[in-house]
Amino acid sequence: MKGFLEQNISQDSLVTLFSQAPVAICLLIGDNFSINSANPQMLELWGRDASVIGKSLFDVLPEIIDQGFKEILENVYRTGETFKGNKWSVFLEKHGQYDEHFFTFIFAPVYNDDKKIIGISIVATEVTDQIFSERKLKESEYRFEHLIKKSDYPIAIYSTEELFIEFANEKMLKTWGKSASVIGMKLEDALPELEGQPFLGLLKEIFVTGKTYSAKEDRADLVVEGRLQTFYYNFSYKPLKNSNGEVYAILNMAVDVTDLVLARKEIQEREKKFRDLADSMPQFVWTCDNKGEITYMNDSWYKYTGSTENENQTSLIKKMLRPETTEKINKAWEECIRTNTPFVMEYELEDPGQKGNYRWFLGRAVPNFSENGELKQWTGTFTDIDEFKQLETQKDNFLGIASHELKTPLTSLKLYTQYIKTNLEKAGDPKNANVAKRMDYQIDLLTGLINELLDVTKIQKGQMQLNESVFDFDKLVDEVVEEQQMTSRHKLFVSKSSVIGEVFADRHRIAQVMANLISNAIKYSPNADEVHISTSVYENQAQFNVRDFGIGIPEDKQSKVFEQYYRISGSKDYTFSGLGLGLYISSEIIKRTGGEIFVSSSEGEGSDFCFRIPKNKKLI
């Protein structure tokens, strides 16, 4: 071989050939594998320079001895069999670092002219970067596969236009109601129930268009648990393309929204039932959002007003309100919206059929809350109470007239009774005189009832006048208590924490309230022997308290005691007389005076009624 080289190829040519080769090449001579030549690529591969020429390979790279290369080279040198290594792992110390590298190489025997092996040629290519890239790719693929296998969403991959199921995670298999045995089958064979549904056609179309298809809340009928069931999904079909832009598979991702769709349908059905019910009601039924804007009115409203759903009903209602009451109603409604408390109020709305005429309605609204306590909407009604209000007016007029007409004969009857009583006493007939006295007492009771009816009539018509003046509050308390004590078996105890002095109010009406509270305390404590009365100054207000030890008032009834005609009922052992107007009238008097009245009570333990009025209202 040496002769052949010397005769046919110059040494410079060989050096040039070796140095320009795209791969690493070296020549090892002798059984000690001396490095006869190595091109720059091989030197770079080893991490060495040209000074290694002439040295034994294992002296230059001692770290490869224990990696099996000595045995391999010796076998090639001895047997002449070429050895090929593909992506071989080799640990080399290069530039002071000991790292793993990967090579593809060929160890081939070199012969002389006598066909005797004199050395080994090595051709090698480093593929470390390729191996690491492949590893990263495999790791990435593994992570991706693991991700989609454990995904919370059903995922599948269909390959070729035949739609073979190449992959389906556990969620998708569960969605189909199938086992892993369907993987590798055609989709139409694995799920025959898809025939007649659009999905197979959509998938095949994507192989033509290359465009992603997605849908929301789409219906799919699948055989799950042995029976055909209907489900709803948000899903997408995404084409997977090769480097040429050709679709080779389709990625299917889905989200089961069956429960959501069915829940919404149920809600819609309930809403329809609610609307059908509301539309059948003669009352006007409505809903509004949390800002007070009307979102629904029933058919009765549209028939009454002649308006349409396209019109702003919130504005229409405001226009229909009697102008002088609009501010009051709006203020009450805005307060309910702010506090999320029920709204109840009587007001007038203009009659659409008679412009300028108004009808009375009772407006009610209650807030509706979500499960987490947030306000969703308001539900309300308008109830026509115009006829009731007219009857109520007629009743008040009747009571006013009747009460007024009764006062004159009662006054005469009282004078006659007192005359008879006086004459009987003079005639020495005490028994009959006592009867006349009782008659006089009953006339006083009847007069009191008539006066209450007159007061209510005045209140309802806004005709109750307060004749306000300055008077001594403490003195008035003494007078009222003394008067009440004269006709009561209860002991009335009075305590004054401080002198109140003069106040500006209607002396007669305040006395009426005091007397009413004391007489009620006596009436509703039949088994008690005393009533406590106290006065004090509270934030520049005169305060008057009456405490009894009687039947008390249940907590759920306390808010009603100041309502018209409401009567406190005791046990079956007691019957209490009266019309249930005294506390109502007292409440209206105190309100008109600029004060407040309230009660604190425990059932079976008694009640504490209290009112406060401004001391210096005149100055205000």
How far is 80 from 77, CA to CA, in rounded Å?
6
> pLDDT at position 77, please?
93
Arithmetic mean of pLDDT, 543-557: 89
> pLDDT at position 5, please?
45
Which helix (H) or strand (E) segment holds residue 96: the answer is none
pLDDT for residue 572 is more than 50: no
DSSP state of 186: B
Q: Are 187 and 173 in contact (CB under 8 A)?
A: no
How far is 220 from 229, CA to CA, in rounded Å?
8
What residue type is assigned to position 544 of the chain? F
Arithmetic mean of pLDDT, 352-362: 88
Instruction: Please count the CA atoms within 13 angstroms of the CA of 184 that sit on its side-chain side.
Output: 3
CATH value of 151-256 in 3.30.450.20, 3.40.140.10, 3.90.1150.10, 3.30.565.10: 3.30.450.20
Instruction: Categorize the per-residue pLDDT at 90 as very low, low, confident or very high, splitting at 50, 70 and 90.
Output: very high
Residues in the chain: 620
* Domain spanning 469-614, CATH architecture: 2-Layer Sandwich (3.30)
What are the tens digits of pLDDT across the range 47-68? 999 999 999 999 999 999 889 8
Q: Are 122 and 109 in contact (CB under 8 A)?
A: no
> pLDDT at position 362, please?
92
What are the tens digits of pLDDT across the range 380-434? 999 988 888 777 666 666 665 655 556 667 777 778 788 887 888 888 888 888 8
Do domains 2-132 and 263-384 share one topology? The answer is yes
Cα angle: 530, vertex 535, 540; to 5 degrees: 165
E strand residue ranges, 112-181: 117-126, 155-159, 164-168
For residue 392, give both structure tokens: 């109520």
Arithmetic mean of pLDDT, 455-466: 67
> pLDDT at position 145, please?
65
Tell me the sheet residues that pair with 285.
381
Instruction: Categorize the per-residue pLDDT at 273 as very low, low, confident or very high, splitting at 50, 70 and 90.
Output: confident
> What residues have CB less than 8 Å from 402, skipping those under 6 apart?
453
Kindly report the number of other CB atoms within 10 A of residue 134's CB atom: 13
Instruction: Categorize the per-residue pLDDT at 181 as very low, low, confident or very high, splitting at 50, 70 and 90.
Output: very high
What are the tens digits of pLDDT across the range 578-606? 566 778 888 888 888 889 999 998 888 89
Instruction: Categorize the per-residue pLDDT at 477 as very low, low, confident or very high, splitting at 50, 70 and 90.
Output: very high
Instruction: Categorize the per-residue pLDDT at 122 as very low, low, confident or very high, splitting at 50, 70 and 90.
Output: very high
> What residues have CB less than 8 Å from 174, skipping those under 6 apart?
154
Q: What is the pTM of this model?
A: 0.42
Arithmetic mean of pLDDT, 171-187: 91
Instruction: Name the residue among 26, 78, 80 with its Cα closest to residue 54.
Output: 26
End-to-end CA separation in angstroms for the chain: 131
Instruction: Categorize the per-residue pLDDT at 577 as very low, low, confident or very high, splitting at 50, 70 and 90.
Output: low
Instruction: Categorize the per-residue pLDDT at 1 as very low, low, confident or very high, splitting at 50, 70 and 90.
Output: very low
Q: How far is CA 602 from the centre of its chain?
A: 38
Give me the chain's average pLDDT, please: 84
Arithmetic mean of pLDDT, 546-559: 86
Residue ranges of the domains in the chain?
Answer: 2-132, 151-256, 263-384, 389-461, 469-614
Helix and strand numbers (H, E) in the chain are 18, 22
Which class for 520: exposed (0-12), middle (13-18), buried (19 or more C-beta within 10 A)? buried
Arithmetic mean of pLDDT, 70-96: 91
* Domain spanning 263-384, CATH architecture: 2-Layer Sandwich (3.30)
With pLDDT > 70 as the criterion, what percentage of the chain qualifies?
A: 86
> pLDDT at position 544, please?
95
Q: Are 16 and 126 in contact (CB under 8 A)?
A: no
CATH value of 389-461 in 1.10.287.130, 3.30.465.10, 3.40.50.2300, 3.30.43.10: 1.10.287.130
For residue 304, give both structure tokens: 């009454």
Instruction: Name the residue among 366, 362, 412 with its Cα closest to residue 388.
Output: 362
How far, in Å, are 163, 419, 430 from residue 427 at the CA level?
126, 12, 9
Q: Is 476 or 272 the better-scoring residue by pLDDT?
A: 476
Task: List, as own/partner pairs, every contact residues 480-484 make where C-beta atoms lie below 8 angstroms and the sequence separation is at least 24, other chains included.
Answer: 480/511, 480/514, 480/515, 480/518, 481/518, 481/533, 483/515, 484/515, 484/518, 484/519, 484/522
DSSP of 18-71: HHH-SSEEEEEETTTTEEEEE-HHHHHHHT--GGGTTSBHHHH-GGGGGGTHHH
> pLDDT at position 448, please?
67
Interior/surface letters 158-187, b for 16+ CB within 10 angstroms, e for the rest: beeeebbbbbbbebbbebbebeeebbeeeb
> pLDDT at position 15, please?
54
Tell me yes or no: is domain 2-132 CATH 3.20.20.140.
Answer: no
> pLDDT at position 619, please?
44
> What residues have CB less than 8 Å from 620, skipping those under 6 apart?
614
pLDDT for residue 541 is more than 80: yes
Instruction: Categorize the per-residue pLDDT at 192 as very low, low, confident or very high, splitting at 50, 70 and 90.
Output: very high
pLDDT for residue 167 is more than 50: yes
> pLDDT at position 79, please?
93
> pLDDT at position 400, please?
59
Q: Are 441 and 479 in contact (CB under 8 A)?
A: no
> pLDDT at position 269, please?
85
Q: Are 544 and 514 in contact (CB under 8 A)?
A: yes
Is the C-alpha dihedral spanning 138, 140, 144, 147 positive or negative? positive
